[in-house]
Amino acid sequence: MGFSQTAFIAYGIEAPDDRLTPAQLARRLKADLPGLKTRLSAPEVDWLQAGDYDQDWTFLVTEHEQIELGRYGCVHLDANRGRYEEWDRQLIAVWSALRGGGAPQGRPGWVCVPDLS
């Protein structure tokens, strides 16, 4: 058994965890996200988990790429202000639905998350 190291660059926001473990949150997202995407007109929202071994963070994301450590990567997209506004709308709508209301403290943005598995 060895370790795998990689990183993700993604446009997104940290998912509300409601004090769930990463495994519990993953199960919830697998079960609930498909219906939320349809109901909230948020087809571009996906999720990823990454972090330090067994202490993963969970993010709601739109555009994302996996990058091997020691390499660099680019996310190639043709995004304008309207596209970012639509991504923000989708991400915040799904975040709010998962949380049961309210809004996140921060705004969505580009995040780079190292992952050790």
Residue boundaries of the structural domains of the chain: 5-116
Residue 6, pLDDT > 90, answer no
> What is the C-alpha to C-alpha distance for residues 18 and 64, in angstroms, rounded to an integer?
24
Scan for tokens 């970012």, then name that residue: 84
> What distances in angstroms separate CA 109 from CA 13, 53, 62, 87, 88, one per listed residue?
7, 24, 10, 10, 9
> What distances in angstroms separate CA 81 from CA 43, 84, 85, 86, 97, one per listed residue?
18, 5, 6, 9, 24
pLDDT, position 114: 86
Predicted TM-score (pTM) of the model is: 0.87
Residue 30, pLDDT > 80, answer yes
List CB contacts of 53: < 8 A, sequence separation 6 or more: 3, 116, 117
The pLDDT of 87-92, averaged and rounded, is 96
What are the φ/ψ torsions at residue 94 (nearest 5 degrees)? -70, -45
Structure tokens at 60: 């709601």
pLDDT, position 52: 80
